[in-house]
């Protein structure tokens, strides 16, 4: 009996010991959990961060207490412009994704416009809930803005904002900026030669978290007047890599991410390499300044084309700014405008001459800068003339048309110099030169006097071609007389080349089914008429190339590439249908006009078993809020896609378009029938094409 009692007591002691151990363990776990969520008071000055989408707001200090978290923000923006912060801003714990919504603001009011002072700087304090000690890194996110996000903010120690990057030093080690004598005496010999240009370099202060991994170079094929945009790959470490096929030296616009362009167009040359050091913070500063001409102070050029790009970029710019020119247009008579322009060009000429002599620039730069001067000045005058003539239509003050003497500057233009194609604004100048209003009006009057305005329906292909060619023939004769020239200069021959190439491409894109024989014969006669006026072999070759493309035009499969994968992912659910694809954006006036005007036409085809409209835009060109509002009002019920900017750029490259709107016609089998379809919103033409593709126009829609 006593033995049993002792055994029982021993068991009770054991139970109590185990219970005590369990209590200690549970207490320890509870204490650990409390420590994880414990808020420790700490302050971080100039916290380091990975990347950001804008530099208007810079976090200068973070104070963390058990009561709240405060972000001290320095705001920099244009004086007297307004900024507005709202209560949607939140901090996001990078490790867990937990969000901490803002609770207050000092220095501004949520949702109200704050107009910046004369200094363009101010400070605000944003309040958030207390952050647990476990939170080491956060993102600052403003959901309704693409310009106010800062990623990877380090809360563990004081920092230096973005800090100093080693990428710059590594790039400089390979591309010293001391200048070189290589190529200083090398001028242009064989200007036209086809080859690949390589673009390399680094985008500093970039991180994939920014949401884009491409840049794009907008290449204009000025021989055939075609867009040939090329995507530049941005690797996770910021390395740039791309290749551009060129037929002659060119100046091209390069854009990074969400429409951040370089300060000046880059100079590219077939068969050579350009390396670039681009500081993304520079681009954000220019965006913050809202100034297209805001300099990118850290932009550097290297490799074979480095020096010529550096010298072109450092050259003085045209002395008349955009706002100054617009003010002149509104206040001065045409004669006074022309006088002011002459003064400005003369001053610019002197500055360029001084720059070239002082800097001892290379021979190619010496050849290009005087052409830059001529082309930029002439482009502005032709632009002025276009605006002036357009304004006459609605004028009630009795303004007179521009006197012909206004255009006398054309007589001093180097119209026979093919190097014009390698200067800034070359493609814009050629466009304005080709469509001068006075020239077209005079040619129209002669055409009307010669042929009348009724076009017979029984003309032969040769007669049709002659009728189509006659306006260009007359324009050429009028221009030659005005310029006092006996031979057609290179630049006008280029215009003629562009005209026939554009006609051939347009006809090729009309080939929904096999082109009829009469049209083919007409295009052949028209091509021969243009070629008879061309003396430059490179232009004749461009016309023949365009004609061959016209003859063999037929539906084609998209090539294997990232752009095709993106397009197929969008269209895969519509297999077996004919697709009418509209590339657009909320900021594109012509895009919106076409969409709104075609509402009834699209309603007629909505839900049809054989036909599908698809609308594609990008996150960068169509911000989320206006995009949703526009879709709700004008595209409700349609197949709409808003894709990342990098994906959109790949589609630009895939379908070779720089501008929008752009329309694509896709067959039932997924082949591209037309990558520049002009009948999409023309009811009768569209029905005719769809019928030719086997669509039953009377068939009921899908239920």
What is the pLDDT confidence band of residue 50, given thresholds at 50, 70 and 90?
very high
Does the pLDDT at position 34 exceed 70? no
Does the pLDDT at position 458 exceed 90? no
The CATH topology of domain 169-314 is Immunoglobulin-like (2.60.40)
Instruction: Give the pLDDT score at 4.
Output: 40
CB within 8 Å of 156: residues ≥ 6 apart: 44, 136, 137
The b-or-e profile of 267-282 (16+ CB within 10 A means b, else e) is bbbbebbbbbbbbbbb
From 186, 194, 196, 176, select the one nearest 306 (Cα to Cα).
176
Instruction: Give the pLDDT score at 180.
Output: 57
Beta bridge partner(s), residue 266: 252
Does the pLDDT at position 525 exceed 90? yes
Instruction: Give the pLDDT score at 13.
Output: 45
Distance CA 309, CA 297 (A): 15
Place of tokens 């050091």: 277
Place of tokens 């006008």: 492
Instruction: Give the pLDDT score at 580.
Output: 97
pLDDT tens digits for 356-386?
999 889 999 999 999 999 998 898 899 999 9
Point out the least confidently predicted range of 16-20, 254-258, 574-578.
Answer: 16-20
Q: Look up the pTM and report it.
A: 0.87
Distance CA 448, CA 441 (A): 11
Does the pLDDT at position 23 exceed 60? no
From 348, 356, 420, 351, select the one nearest 377 (Cα to Cα).
348
CB within 8 Å of 103: residues ≥ 6 apart: 68, 127, 128, 129
From 109, 139, 140, select the one nearest 124 (Cα to Cα).
109
CB within 8 Å of 60: residues ≥ 6 apart: 45, 46, 72, 73, 74, 123
- HSE-up of residue 671 (Cα within 13 Å, Cβ side): 9
Q: Is 583 left (phi over 0), alpha (psi -120 to 50) or beta?
A: beta
Q: Peptide bond before 661: cis, by omega within 30 degrees of 0?
A: yes
Q: Kindly report the three-state secondary structure assignment for every residue of 576-614.
A: CCEEEEEECCCCCHHHHHHHHHCHHHHHHHCCCCCEEEE
> Region 314-330: what's the mean pLDDT?
80
Does the pLDDT at position 431 exceed 60? yes
Instruction: Give the pLDDT score at 680.
Output: 94
CATH top class, domain 562-692: alpha beta
Indicate the average pLDDT of the chain.
89
Phi, psi of 103 (to 5 degrees): -115, -10
> Region 610-615: what's the mean pLDDT?
96
Beta bridge partner(s), residue 267: 251
Contact indicator for 564, 537 with CB cutoff of 8 Å: no
Contact indicator for 480, 657 with CB cutoff of 8 Å: no
Instruction: Give the pLDDT score at 331.
Output: 84
Residue 649, classified by CB atoms within 10 Å of its CB into exposed (0-12), middle (13-18) or buried (19+), is buried
- CATH code, 42-154: 2.60.40
Point out the least confidently predicted range of 231-245, 412-426, 514-528, 632-646.
Answer: 514-528
Higher pLDDT, 560 or 697: 560
Distance CA 418, CA 459 (A): 38
Q: Is 111 left (phi over 0), alpha (psi -120 to 50) or beta?
A: left
Instruction: Give the pLDDT score at 22.
Output: 45
What is the pLDDT confidence band of residue 169, given thresholds at 50, 70 and 90?
very high
């Amino acid at each position: 009996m006593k033995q049993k009692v002792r055994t029982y007591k021993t068991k009770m002691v054991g139970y109590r010991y185990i219970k005590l151990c369990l209590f200690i363990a549970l207490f320890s776990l509870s204490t650990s959990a409390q420590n994880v969520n414990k808020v420790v008071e700490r302050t971080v000055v100039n916290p380091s961060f990975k990347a950001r989408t804008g530099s208007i707001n810079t976090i200068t200090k973070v104070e963390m207490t058990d009561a709240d978290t405060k972000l001290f923000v320095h705001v920099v923006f244009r004086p007297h412009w307004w900024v507005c912060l709202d209560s949607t801003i939140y901090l996001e714990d990078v490790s867990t994704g937990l969000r901490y919504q803002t609770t207050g603001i000092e220095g501004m009011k949520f949702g109200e416009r704050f107009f910046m002072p004369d200094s363009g700087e101010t400070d605000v304090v944003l309040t958030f809930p207390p952050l647990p000690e476990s939170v080491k890194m956060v993102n600052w996110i403003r959901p309704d803005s693409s310009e106010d996000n800062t990623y990877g903010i380090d809360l563990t120690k004081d920092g230096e904002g973005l800090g100093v990057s080693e990428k710059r030093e590594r790039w400089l080690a390979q591309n010293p900026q001391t200048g070189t004598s290589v190529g200083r005496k090398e001028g242009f010999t064989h200007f036209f030669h086809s080859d690949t240009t390589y673009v390399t370099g680094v985008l500093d202060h970039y991180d994939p978290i920014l949401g884009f991994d491409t840049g794009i170079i907008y290449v204009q094929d000025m021989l055939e007047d075609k867009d040939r945009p090329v995507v530049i790959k941005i690797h996770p470490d910021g390395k740039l890599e791309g290749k551009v096929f060129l037929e002659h030296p060119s100046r091209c616009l390069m854009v990074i991410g969400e429409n951040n362009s370089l300060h000046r167009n880059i100079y590219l040359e077939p068969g050579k390499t350009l390396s670039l050091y681009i500081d993304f913070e520079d681009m954000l500063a220019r965006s913050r300044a809202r100034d297209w001409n805001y300099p990118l102070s850290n932009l550097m050029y290297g490799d074979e084309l480095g020096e010529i790009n550096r010298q072109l970029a450092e050259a003085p710019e045209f002395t008349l700014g955009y706002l100054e020119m617009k003010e002149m247009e509104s206040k001065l008579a045409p004669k006074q405008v022309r006088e002011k322009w002459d003064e400005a060009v003369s001053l610019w000429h002197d500055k360029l001459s001084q720059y070239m002599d002082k800097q001892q620039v290379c021979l190619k730069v010496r050849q290009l800068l005087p052409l830059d001067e001529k082309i930029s000045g002439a482009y502005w005058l032709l632009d002025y003339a276009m605006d002036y003539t357009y304004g006459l239509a609605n004028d009630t003050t009795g303004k007179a048309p521009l006197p012909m003497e206004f255009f006398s500057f054309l007589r001093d233009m180097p119209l026979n110099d093919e190097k014009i194609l390698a200067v800034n604004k070359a493609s814009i100048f050629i466009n304005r030169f080709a469509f001068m209003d006075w020239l077209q009006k005079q040619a129209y009057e002669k055409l009307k006097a010669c042929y009348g305005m009724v076009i017979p329906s029984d003309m032969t292909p040769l007669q049709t071609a002659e009728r189509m060619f006659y306006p260009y023939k007359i324009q050429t004769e009028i221009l030659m007389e005005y310029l006092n020239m006996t031979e057609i200069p290179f630049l006008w021959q280029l215009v003629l080349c562009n005209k026939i190439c554009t006609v051939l491409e347009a006809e090729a894109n009309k080939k929904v089914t096999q082109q009829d024989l009469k049209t083919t014969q007409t295009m052949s006669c028209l091509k021969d008429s243009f070629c008879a006026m061309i003396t430059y072999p490179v232009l004749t070759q461009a016309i023949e190339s365009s004609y061959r493309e016209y003859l063999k035009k037929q539906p084609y499969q998209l090539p294997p590439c990232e752009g095709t994968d993106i397009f197929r992912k969008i269209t895969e659910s519509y297999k077996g249908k004919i697709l009418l694809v509209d590339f657009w954006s909320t900021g594109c006036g012509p895009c919106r006009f076409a969409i709104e005007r075609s509402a009834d036409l699209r309603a007629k085809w909505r839900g049809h078993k054989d036909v599908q409209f698809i609308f594609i835009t990008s996150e960068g060109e169509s911000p989320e809020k206006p995009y949703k509002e526009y879709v709700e009002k004008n595209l409700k019920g349609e197949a709409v896609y808003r894709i990342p900017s990098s994906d959109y750029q790949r589609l630009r490259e895939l379908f070779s378009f720089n501008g929008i709107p752009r329309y694509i016609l896709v067959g039932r089998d997924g082949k591209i029938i037309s990558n520049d379809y002009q009948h999409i919103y023309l009811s009768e033409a569209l029905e005719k094409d769809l019928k030719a593709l086997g669509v039953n126009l009377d068939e009921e829609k899908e239920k």
